[in-house]
Amino acid sequence: MARKYEITIGIECHVQLKTKTKLFSEVDNDARGKEPNSCVSPVDYALPGMLPRLNGEAVRLAIRAGAAMNAKINPDSRFDRKHYFYPDSPKGYQITQFYHPIIGEGFVELPSGKKIRIEHAHLEGDAGKLTHFDTYSLVDLNRVDTPLLEIVSMPDISSPEEARDYCKELWRNMVYAGVTNGDLYNGNMRFDVNISLKKPEDTKLGTRAEIKNLNSFRSIERAAAYEYERQSKLLDKGEKVIQETRGWSDATGVTTGQRSKEEAQDYRYMPEPDLPPLSLTQDFIKAEYDKCPALPADYRARFTKVITEDTLEVLLDYPELVNRLAEIADGGQPVDYIANLFASVLLAEENQSLLNDNLPSANQLTELAAMKSKNELSSTSAKEVFIKLFEPKHCDKTPLELAKELNLVQENDSGALEAIVDAVLAKPETAKAQADYKAGQEKVLGFLVGQVMKESHGKANPSAVSEILKKKLK
Amino acid sequence: MEVTEQEINHLAMLSNFSLEPSEKDALKKDLSGIFKYIGKLDELDTSGVEPTYQVFEMKNVWRADEIINQDADREALLALTKEERDHQIKVPKVL
C-alpha cells in the first residue's frame, strides 16, 4: 500500500522474566491462578525498614536476553528510584535502571533480513494490579516487583506489518532463549508502540503518540494501522498530533487518549541506596551469554534448504517442535517429511490439542519417516500413526509396533501381493475388466487395483499392486 | 535558594499531602534553610569527580532464586492496611 506519510515506529517491550522468586523479595513469582495478595512479602508492602534483595537469577536471565538481541552487556549497572504516587506501588517509587542499564545496544533481525536496532534494555520491578469498581478500587500486590526486562528499540520500524514482525521475532527470541514463559494471554510480554508520521520530504520526525499495553501481535498491527489513519487525517486537515498516551481496544478497533498517571511527569529519579551496584566480570558475562541457545535466525540458516520458508515460519512459533527437528537433524536424519507432518497435521485446527500431549521422540519420528519412505505405511496410515503416538497410552511404542497393532502396515512383499492379485484375477466379476484392459482401456486398471486393495483390507501398497497387475495382464 | 509557595504546592501534590497554609509557611522556611545549608557544597569544584552512589563500596550483592516462606502471612499484612475487601486493599477510586 502506498502511503502519503512515512511512519516511524519505536517499541518498548516489557518481558516478564521466569524466575522462581520476585526481583527484590523471596516470594513466589508465579501468581497465576493464586489468590490475590497471596504472593506478597513485607518488602513488597514497603513496610518501614524492609530492604530489597536482588535476585541473581534475574541478572543472569537479563544477560541471556541480551545475547538473544545481539546486545552489548554493560559490566557496570545500577538501580534507580522512579517516584510516583499511585496505589499500585506501596513504595511510592518503582525500582528501575534509569541511568545505567544492564544491556546496551543490540539488534533484532526480522525474517525479511531487516535489522531493528535495540537502544538498551533494563531491569525493573512490575507494579501491582488494580481493579476498579463504581466507588472504589481494589489492589492486588501479587505482581509487585515481578522481574521485568524493558527492551527499548530504536525508531527503525516503518510499517504496522513490520511492527508486528518485530514484536513476534522479539517474542520468539525471548522464548527460545528461555528467559520468559512468553505467555501473551497472561501478559508475560507487553508492548508500548510509539508512532509518528511525517511527509517523505521532511527531515524532522513528527509528534508521536504512544499506544500502551498491547499484548497480541494482531492488536499491535491493527492499532498501528489505526493510528496511521487517525494521525494522517489530522495532518491532512492541517491539525497537529498531540504527544500523549493512548489506549487500544480490540473490541472497538480504535485508540483513545488516556489521562496520565501523574499530571506532572516529574519522577525525581535518584540512585537506589538500598541496592549495591553491579560490576560484572567478563567471565561471568560470557558464561551467561553462552547459555543462549539456537535462535529462530539460526534455524532459518540451518533449515533453509530442507524446509520451505512458509512451513518453517509457521513452525518457528513452536520452539519444542523446532528443537525436535534439530534433534533429528543432529542425528543425521532427514527432517522434511516430519516438518510437513508438524505443519499440516499437528497444527491443523482439529489436531492442535495434541500439542498439550506427549510429543513423539526423535527416534519415533525418524522411524515413522523411514517406514513412510519405504512404503511400509501409506501416507494416510503414516498420519494416523503420527497422531496416535501423542496419546499417553501409545507414547512408549515404536511406530512399527503401533502400526501393527492398528493393522496399518502396508504389504510390500511381492510374493504375498502376487497371491492376492491372482485371487482377484480368478474372480469372475473381474473378467470383463481384464478383457477391457487387454483391449486397450488402461483406465480400468484403477478398478482392478481397488479390488486388490479391498481383498488386502487396505494393506497392500497400491503402486506395487499396479505394477504386478500390469505385468500379469500383458 | 528560596523555596517558593508554588514549589511547595508541587511537592505536596507529588507526595500526596494536603497542607494547611501555616504548614506551608513553616515548610517553606525549613526547606529554604536546608537548601541554603546544602548549597555550601556548590562552592566546591567537583568536575571530574566520580559521583558517590553509595558509601559502603559493596557490589554484586544478590541472593539465590529460592522461595522462602514469609513470617508475615497474607491476613497479617492485610490487617495493616486501612481497609480490606475480598483479600484486597480497598482504596478510593483511582483511574
Which cell numbers in the block locate residue A225?
494501522
Interchain proximity A37–B90, CB inside 8 Å: no
Taking the C-alpha atoms of residue A57 and residue A17, their distance in angstroms, rounded to an integer, is 9
Residue of B nearest to A259 (CA): B95
Q: How far is B11 from chain A (nearest CA, A)?
A: 10
Residue A36, chain B, CB below 8 Å: the answer is: yes
Residue B37, chain A, CB below 8 Å: the answer is: no
**Domain shared by A279 and A301, yes or no:** no
**Model pLDDT, residue A298:** 94
In the sheet with B84-85, reading across from the earlier edge strand, the strands are A129-132, A136-140, B88-92, B84-85
User: Which CATH architecture best describes the domain B1-44?
Assistant: Orthogonal Bundle (1.10)
Residue B6, chain A, CB below 8 Å: the answer is: no
Q: How far is A215 from chain B (nearest CA, A)?
A: 21
Nearest to B16 among A28, A85, A259 (CB): A85
Pairing of strands A244-249, A209-214: parallel
Query: Which ipTM score applies to this complex?
Result: 0.83
Contacts of residue A424, defined as CB under 8 A and 6 or more positions apart, other chains included, come to A430, A448, A451, A452, A455
pLDDT, averaged across chain B: 90
A-chain residues within 8 Å CB-CB of B64?
56-57
In a domain, A444, yes or no: yes
**Domain shared by A144 and A227, yes or no:** yes
The pLDDT tens digits for A90-112 are 999 999 999 999 999 999 999 99
**Domain shared by A330 and A395, yes or no:** yes
Mutating which of A19, A24, A34, A41 best tests the B interface, going by the most B Cβ atoms within 10 A? A41
Domain carrying residue A371: 294-405
The pLDDT tens digits for A24-80 are 999 999 988 899 999 999 999 999 999 999 999 999 999 999 999 999 999 999 999
**Domain shared by A60 and A23, yes or no:** yes
- Cα A336 to the chain's mean position, in Å? 21
Taking the C-alpha atoms of residue A418 and residue A472, their distance in angstroms, rounded to an integer, is 9
**Model pLDDT, residue A259:** 62
- Among A256, A286, A316, identify where a domain stops: A286
* Interfacial A residues in 225-254 facing B (CB < 8 Å): none
**Ranges of chain A with pLDDT below 70:** 1-2, 259-265
Nearest to B93 among A26, A136, A275 (CB): A136
Q: How far is A179 from chain B (nearest CA, A)?
A: 14
Q: How many other C-beta atoms lie within 10 A of the C-beta of residue B58?
A: 11
Q: How far is A262 from chain B (nearest CA, A)?
A: 8
CB-based contact A120:A77 (threshold 8 Å): no
Whichever domain contains A450, its CATH number is 1.10.10.410
Contacts of residue B94, defined as CB under 8 A and 6 or more positions apart, other chains included, come to A86, A87, A130, A132, A137
Interchain proximity B87–A35, CB inside 8 Å: yes
Residue of B nearest to A147 (CA): B65
B-chain residues within 8 Å CB-CB of A135?
93
Q: How many other C-beta atoms lie within 10 A of the C-beta of residue A424?
A: 22
The pLDDT tens digits for B8-31 are 998 888 777 899 999 999 999 999
Q: What is the DSSP letter of A116?
A: E
Interchain proximity A264–B14, CB inside 8 Å: yes
**Model pLDDT, residue A359:** 93
**Model pLDDT, residue A446:** 87
Cα dihedral value A329, A332, A337, A342, nearest 10: -30
Interchain proximity A37–B86, CB inside 8 Å: no
**Domain shared by A89 and A160, yes or no:** yes
Residue type (1 letter), A110: L
Residues forming beta bridges with residue A377, ordered by sequence position: none
- Among A286, A319, A335, identify where a domain stops: A286
B-chain residues within 8 Å CB-CB of A279?
59-60
Interchain proximity A141–B89, CB inside 8 Å: yes
In a domain, A74, yes or no: yes
Size of interface A-B (CB pairs under 8 A): 123
The pLDDT tens digits for B20-76 are 999 999 999 999 999 999 999 899 998 988 777 778 889 999 999 999 988 888 999
Residue type (1 letter), A2: A
The pLDDT tens digits for A368-404 are 999 988 888 888 889 999 999 998 888 889 998 988 8
**Domain shared by A274 and A304, yes or no:** no
Whole-angstrom CA distances from A206 to A5, A7, A202, A235, A283 are 10, 9, 9, 10, 44
CB-based contact A209:A231 (threshold 8 Å): yes
Whole-angstrom CA distances from A262 to A259, A273, A408, B4, B94 are 8, 24, 68, 21, 11
Contacts of residue A253, defined as CB under 8 A and 6 or more positions apart, other chains included, come to A222, A226
Q: How far is A89 from chain B (nearest CA, A)?
A: 12
Interchain proximity B64–A56, CB inside 8 Å: yes
Mutating which of B77, B80, B82, B83 best tests the A interface, going by the most A Cβ atoms within 10 A? B77
Taking the C-alpha atoms of residue B77 and residue B59, their distance in angstroms, rounded to an integer, is 32
Residue matched to cell numbers 497471596? A38
In a domain, A121, yes or no: yes
- Among A218, A252, A286, identify where a domain stops: A286
* Interfacial B residues in 10-29 facing A (CB < 8 Å): 10, 13-16
Instruction: Enumerate the H helices of A212-361 as residue ranges.
Output: 217-236, 282-289, 296-303, 309-315, 319-330, 336-340
CB-based contact A141:A41 (threshold 8 Å): no
A-chain residues within 8 Å CB-CB of B72?
41-42
The domain total for chain A is 3
In B1-95, the DSSP E strands lie at 84-85, 88-92
